[in-house]
Amino acid sequence: MNRLLSRLAVACLGLLAILPGCARTTPPTASSGRVRQTATQPVAEQSSPPQIDHAQAAGSSADLAPPRHGTEKQIQVLPQVRRIFPPATPEAIVRVTEKVFPAVVRLDVAQEIYTEGKRNLQRGIGSGVIIDPQGHILTNYHVAGRAAEIYVTLANKERVPARLIGDDHWTDIAVVQLDMETISRKKIPFAWAELGDSDSLVVGQDVIAIGTPFGLTRTMTLGIVSNNERTFYPERQKIDEYETGEFSNWIQMDTPIAPGNSGGPLVDINGKVVGINTRGIRGQALNFAIPINTAKEVALAILRSASADKKGRVERADLGIDLKPLQDLETFYEIDINKGVLINSVDRGSPAAVAGVKVQDILLEINGRPINVRFPEEVAPARKVIADLPVGQEVSLKLLRRGQIITLTATTQKLEGAVGEEREMKAWGLSIRDVTRTYANEAQLDDDSGVVVTTMSPGYPAAKAGLEPNDVIRSINQQPVSDLEEFVRLYEQSINDKQERLLLEIQRGRGRRFAVLKMTY
């Protein structure tokens, strides 16, 4: 009988090793204790299921093949690394606003505009955020770009003059600086915000938009990140007539943005600035911000290039090509998925055209760096790769053309927008802009020489001579006008010499004509 009981005990212990649930009822004997330790371990693991690290688990099919020698292959499953975000509780939101509100400012701005041949000031309001102890403020280009006069209202209601350090319409960013002499003389305290990392943003993350909507005191709205790489491609976005959003995607959020909120900070629940609020579509929960990593890069370039008598700017390179995603075109061009980008157009006379690049070429590499654009949101990063190249430097372009791989060499040129520098010619009663390469291509001009008429004053000599907006002035008294500087020189010379008759060569559309400008002094 004792021998039988002993055999039953051994059998029961074997079952317990297979059925972990039975281990909880096993008596604490020396042998059963050893078995229970083995049996209960899976129970502890099952109470919190392991998360699969997909990056680690994504091996080859051979890694998951059954073993050849009949033994089970052990696969180690690592727990997934999870990002932890603070919950957007009322207490957390209050902490964020208390931390960031003191760094948010209201900007009252007078911007230069040209109407009826004259330079005027257009006044508006917006928001900004102080980013360092030197009193630098980040805001939008459409808030403070081209500003002739700026006043900043701090959180403590102090109103301080400021000046524009530099702007960049391509990213809709401007940098403004408080008048530190006023700050020091009046001993005005101010705070600045901490900048975060927009690359770490994920869809669904809580964010807070802060600003001074409608010129009111600081206001916050709560929402989530709806998309962290929103693109408007193939549409081209503009601020007035200035191109924007070419080299970075946008943060889309359902956090409401009201007029006057532009330029204010978008912050996470840790109180770090992750974006600069830019625009909102009222009634549709569609709101957009510039990623702070883009803003930081632009602001740094502006501050490095600014001087006491010159605005800071961002210098970018251009090849003169337009890019198109290859989505749904891979079969037609007989190319692997996620390889290359389609050359959609080549500007006349551009570095790419001179190098021999053709429309429908597939650009594979730039200086050995692969360029892969399958989806629309990948267009802006590809454009930025070109823009970040040194200006005036040779670059190697690897292309696929009708199944053949070719390599061409192009020399980058400075990127120019369609809108050139604008000036007022008061005596003639008109305002003019420099003709840029981009404008010349868009207007189908023969070259980029001359200046284009933008606005005119009725009753002044230019209007009486029959000039019209968009006319391109090619020469004055048979002296060629190469650019804006040459035009201003010839204009001032005519005023100083009190010339009463001036012969202007005009290009209107594809045709050319002459106009006689009659002056009285």
- Tell me the three state secondary structure of residue 134: coil
Name, in order, each residue with C-beta under 8 angstroms of 12's C-beta and a sequence gap of 6 or more: none
The residue to which tokens 């000031």 are assigned: 121
- Residue 458: count of CB within 10 angstroms of its CB: 9
> Is residue 262 annotated as a catalytic residue, yes or no?
yes
- Beta-ladder partners of 289: 251, 277
Q: Tell me the Cα Rg of the chain.
A: 33
Cα distance between residue 511 and residue 506, in whole Å: 8
Return d(Cα 372, Cα 374) in angstroms, integer. Answer: 6
**430: Cβ–Cβ under 8 A, 6 or more apart, which residues?**
117, 453, 454, 455, 456, 457, 460, 462, 463, 467
Q: 144 with 150: CB under 8 angstroms?
A: yes
What's CA 165's distance to the chain center, in Å? 19
N- to C-terminal Cα separation, the chain: 134
CA atoms within 13 A on the CB side of 464: 13
Q: Would you say 477 and 493 are in contact if contact means Cβ atoms under 8 Å apart?
A: no
Q: Is 69 a catalytic residue?
A: no
Active site residue 350: no
Q: Which of 472, 462, 445 lies closest to 516, judged by CA?
A: 462
Structure tokens at 177: 């600086």
Q: Which of 136, 168, 169, 172 is catalytic?
A: 172
**Is residue 131 within 8 Å of residue 272, measured between CB atoms?**
no
Catalytic residue, chosen from 262, 449, 457, 494, is 262
Q: Assess contact for 277 and 265: CB atoms under 8 A.
A: yes
Q: Is 374 helix (H, G, I), strand (E, B) or coil?
A: coil
The total of other beta-carbon atoms located within 10 Å of residue 491's CB is 20
Q: What 8-state DSSP symbol labels residue 199?
A: G
Q: Which of 328, 289, 98, 334 is nearest to 193 (CA)?
A: 98
Question: CB count, 10 Å around CB of 193?
Answer: 22
Print burial letters for 23-32: b (CB count within 10 Å at least 16), e (below 16).
beebeeeeeb
Selecting among 127, 136, 142, 431, the annotated active-site residue is 142
Question: 234 preceded by cis ω (within 30°)?
Answer: yes
What is the SS3 assignment for 109?
Answer: strand
Q: Which residues does the annotation mark as catalytic? A: 142, 172, 262
